[in-house]
Amino acid sequence: MSEKRYFKIHSSRHTIGETNNYTRLFDAIEAQAAYDEAEVKRLFESETFIKHLPSEKHYLYNHILESLNSFNKEKTFLARYASILTSIEILYNRGLFGHCKKLIRKAKTEAYSLEKFSILLILIHWETILFINDEDDRNLSKNIHEELRLLDALKIQTILMQVAFDLQIHIDKGKAGEKYIKTCKKELKSIFPPKQEINSFWSKYYYYSAMALIYTIENDNTERYRCYKEIKNIMDKSPQFIKDLPAIYHLNYNNLVNIMLFLKKYSETETLLKEQRTFLPTYGIKNPTFLNRVFINTYESEFYLYYKTGQHEKAATVAAEMESDLKKIDLTFGPILFDLFYFMAITALMVKNYKGATRWLNRILNAEREINYRKELQINARMLYLVILNETDDVLFENRMQATRRFMAQESSFKKQAKILEGIALAGEDTTLAKNKAALKQIVAQLKKEHQVAGEELLNKNFDFVEWLENKAG
C-alpha cells in the first residue's frame, strides 16, 4: 500500500490537467482480482488511448519501475551506491576534492562490512584519481596494494563459486562420478582456506556449499549437516549479510532443517523452525512475498516433523490455526505452495479427516494445467488419493486406479512410484486371501531393498507409502 501511495504522488508530478491515461489504467488494473485485458478494453472502449493499449501498458510499466526505484533508493545497497557514485563524480567534476574523499571513505566502510568488492574497486579507482591529482605517492602505493588484495579475494571466491555451481550441474545431470568428485575435492582443498587477508564471507560460503554437495553424493549426512551448520554460523556472525541476502540465509535454514529431519534430530529441528519463522522481523526485513515463502517452507517442514514423530493431533490443530492465512496466498505464488497442500492432505489423512484430505488433494490436481509443479508431486498426490479411497472403501477406487495407471504409463522414469502403485492396487483387493497378502509382502520387500538415491528423502518429503503397504500386508 505504501508503494501504491508513493506511485500516485510520483505520478502527480507528471500529470497534465486533472489526470493522465496511465494512472487511469493503473487504477483499473488494480481494481481487478486478476488481470483481465478484455475487461480493461471494455471499460475504456470510448477512449482514444485504448486503441494504443500495448504502448500505454509499456509506459505504465516503465513508470511503475521508475516510481519503485525512487521509493526504494535508500533501502537497498545497490540503490544507495548508485546514488553515492553519482555524487562522487559530481563532487569531483566541481573540484570539491575534500568532500569527494570524505564521501568515498564513508562508502568504503560500509562496502567492506558487506564485502562488496566490485563496488570497492570502483571506490578505490576514484581514490586513485584523487591521489594522482594530489601527487600523493604514499597513498597511491597503498591503494594499488589494496586493489591487488581485493582482486585476489575476488579470484578465490569466484573459483570456489564455479566449483560449487559445476558440482550442482553435474549432480543434476547424473554425471557426478567418483573420479569427478575426487577432482573437485582436490581443487577445493588446494585453495581453501586462503590467507586470512584474502579470505571472505563468500569464499567460506561457496566452500562449505560445495562440500555439502560432495557429502550428498557420498551419502555422508553427518558431514553435510556440519557444512550447513557452518554456513549458518558464518552468517550469524555477519548480520549485515542476513539483511542483505535473506534468501540465502533462508535457503540454508531449509537445507539444515531437512538434514536434521533425516538424521532424526527432531527436538533440534523444532527449535530451529521457530527461529526460521521469525528471522525476518528479527532482522527488520519487510518483504511480503518472501514472508509467504518462509511461511510455506516452515509449515511444510513442521507438518513433516509431526508426521515422522507421530504427533498427528498436534499437526491437525496447527493446520486448523494456520489455514485461514494459507488461503490468502494466491495459487499463482509458485510450485512450493502445492508441496504444503500435499502435507495438509497428509495431516488430515492421519486423523482420519478424509474429506479434508481429499479437498487439499483436489486443489493440487485441479491446478495441474495452470501451474507447473513437480511431476513427482502430481504422481504422489494421485497415489495418496488412492490411499484415501482405500481407507474409506470408496467405490471410486477402481476408476481412480485406472486413471492413475494411464497417467503413470506416460511417466516411465518413475519406477519406484510404479511399484508403489502396484502395491496400492493389491491393497485394494481382498488382502485376507493368502496369494494377495503374499504378493503384497513381496512388493514391500522389493521396495525396501531397492537402492535409495542419495539424499532423496531430504529433497522430497513424502508420505510413507511403503509403511502403509506394510500395514496392509499385515
Q: In this predicted structure, which of 47-51, 272-276, 358-362 has the lowest mean pLDDT?
A: 47-51
Query: Which one is predicted more confidently, 454 or 164?
Result: 164
pLDDT of 455 reads 40
Q: Percentage of the chain surpassing pLDDT 90?
A: 62
**In contact, 157 and 188? CB cutoff 8 Å:** no
What's the CA gap between 126 and 120, in Å, rounded? 10
What's the CA gap between 235 and 244, in Å, rounded? 11
Is 70 exceeded by the pLDDT of residue 23?
A: yes
Q: What is the mean pLDDT of residues 280-308?
A: 94
**In contact, 131 and 141? CB cutoff 8 Å:** no
How far, in Å, are 59, 240, 266, 348, 450 from residue 427 at the CA level? 61, 55, 32, 21, 20
pLDDT of 359 reads 97
Residue 326: all three cell numbers together: 494459507
What's the CA gap between 246 and 280, in Å, rounded? 8
Q: Where are the domains of the chain?
A: 2-71, 77-135
Q: What is the mean pLDDT of residues 429-453?
A: 80
pLDDT of 103 reads 94
| Closest residue by Cα to residue 340 from 358, 323, 321 | 323
Q: How many CB atoms are located within 10 Å of the residue 349 CB?
A: 23
Instruction: Give pTM, 2 decimals.
Output: 0.78
pLDDT digit string (tens) for 181-224? 999 999 999 999 999 889 999 999 999 999 999 998 898 999 99
pLDDT digit string (tens) for 222-251? 999 999 999 999 999 988 889 888 999 999
pLDDT digit string (tens) for 300-349? 999 999 999 999 999 999 999 999 999 999 988 889 999 999 999 999 99
Half-sphere exposure for 176 (CA within 13 Å, toward CB): 24
How far, in Å, are 198, 209, 290 from residue 195 at the CA level? 6, 20, 36
Distance of CA 307 to the CA centre of its chain: 23
Element (H, E) at 32: none
Query: Which one is predicted more confidently, 77 or 451?
Result: 77
Rounded CA Rg of the chain: 29
